Structure 1
Amino acid sequence: MIGIVNYGAGNIFSLTSALERQHIPFGMVNTEADLDKYTHIIIPGVGHAGAAMKKLEETGLVAPIKALKKPVLGICVGMQLLTAHSEEGDVTMTGVFPLKTRLFNKDQGIKIPHMGWNNIDHKNNLLFEGVENLTQFYFVHSYFIEYNPTFDIATANYGMPFSAAIQKDNFYGVQFHPEKSGIAGEHLLKNFSNLKQ
């Protein structure tokens, strides 16, 4: 059963709808005690990383989330919260991954935000089991996580390569929105729900 961290970071209706379509049971995590009720945890996120981090700190959930040994998935800003630092608001994040979240460079002739469908080149990882390589997923973001081969499990390209998905132990992050990525995205959510603890 999936627990969705409810820290006021944007609309989670798309995510709950996608989980319902896949018949994946879920509930909300509002307090530290709620973390124990679920086998898998999703940190959703929309909007400003600095504001999202502030909200997460106010819930008192940062240290308990970092201590989790069960599968955790950060989506979009939820993924960026797992990095060490974000240029968005120049803020220290949870530091689960020793990576930086950086602003795309307009000088490369790209539009910011990066918005729309983009192919991802993924590694052989249980999160992507049954998902064809170079499948398209839906992105909406102005900030990206620097590519690092140690943690990168999927790469996308927008003016430069960046991490579309990362993993460290039981922590996963995806920059795209699986809940808005059609069949492939829902398949990925199903894969996450099936990850063993």
Structure 2
Amino acid sequence: MSIVIINTGCSNLYSITRAIQRLGYQVSITDSIYDIKMANKIFLPGVGTASAVIDILKNKNLLSFLKCTTQPILGICLGMQLLGSYSNEGNKCILLNRIDHSIKKLPNVDCSIPHIGWNTVNYTINHFLFKDIDNNTRFYFLHSYYMNVNKYTIAVSTHGIQFCAAVAVKNFFGVQFHPEKSGYSGEQLIKNFLEI
């Protein structure tokens, strides 16, 4: 099986690589559209601002491809937010628009921003992405922006407000948390995605 992590220039590329390798799979980090088109599974990570990652994808001629591909894609953290329609972060920008919801800043409601650390995730339906993972398991988060709960939400979490923690729409999947930094449960989620 060919597995790729899209090189978005973010800091967690190698921690995702190591998590996949610990599961016994080979994986490459690439921005080659040919290699990405040939992949069976695609990881879309992101750290930083949405506009910066969108610019990287545009410059590498990947944006239009990602909008219409039928390959399974897992967006991680900002990578999940990119599945939305529009980001209000920094230089506001249009996203992949797989989910018709904008990305907004977490309100400072009796909580610190950014949301950093371990938090429980409650999956709202028995989705295969959470196979063999107990409900209300804790995962590691690091983010200041969020997507509202919507019809494609498969898990939620709460930090001041309830927000979307995981989504699934056709071949696009996303998690707001960092499975590669979430121990056994995070690796189980990655394994579940790879076994789709």
TM range (shorter): over 0.9
Partners of 2:11 and 2:49 lie apart in 1 by 10
Q: How does 1:111-126 map to 2 (within 5 A)?
A: 111-122=112-123, 123-126=125-128
SS of structure 1 residue aligned to 2:46:
coil
Shift of 1:13: 1.3
Could you say which residue in structure 2 is the equivalent of 1:162?
Answer: 163
Partners of 2:111 and 2:58 lie apart in 1 by 33
Could you say which residue in structure 1 is the equivalent of 2:72?
Answer: 71
- Tell whether the 8 Å contact from 1:74 to 1:172 is kept in structure 2 after alignment: yes
- Tell whether the 8 Å contact from 1:44 to 1:78 is kept in structure 2 after alignment: yes
Could you say which residue in structure 1 is the equivalent of 2:194?
Answer: 193
Could you say which residue in structure 1 is the equivalent of 2:173?
Answer: 172
- Tell whether the 8 Å contact from 1:5 to 1:43 is kept in structure 2 after alignment: yes
Q: Compare 184-193 and 22-31 and name the one that shifted more.
A: 22-31
Partners of 2:102 and 2:46 lie apart in 1 by 17
Could you say which residue in structure 2 is the equivalent of 1:105?
Answer: 107
Shift of 1:37: 2.4
- Tell whether the 8 Å contact from 1:24 to 1:190 is kept in structure 2 after alignment: no
Q: Which runs of 4+ in 1 moved over 6 A?
A: none
Q: How does 1:110-149 map to 2 (within 5 A)?
A: 110-122=111-123, 123-148=125-150
In structure 2, list runs of 5 or more residues that go unmatched.
none
Shift of 1:31: 2.3
Partners of 2:136 and 2:156 lie apart in 1 by 10
The CA RMSD over aligned residues, in Å, is 1.1
In structure 1, list runs of 5 or more residues that go unmatched.
none
Partners of 1:170 and 1:156 lie apart in 2 by 23
Shift of 1:81: 1.2
For residue 164 of structure 1, what is the amino acid of its counterpart?
A: A
For residue 88 of structure 1, what is the amino acid of its counterpart?
A: E
Shift of 1:29: 3.1
Q: Compare 96-105 and 167-176 and name the one that shifted more.
A: 96-105
Partners of 1:62 and 1:71 lie apart in 2 by 16
Q: How many residues align?
A: 193
Shift of 1:74: 0.3
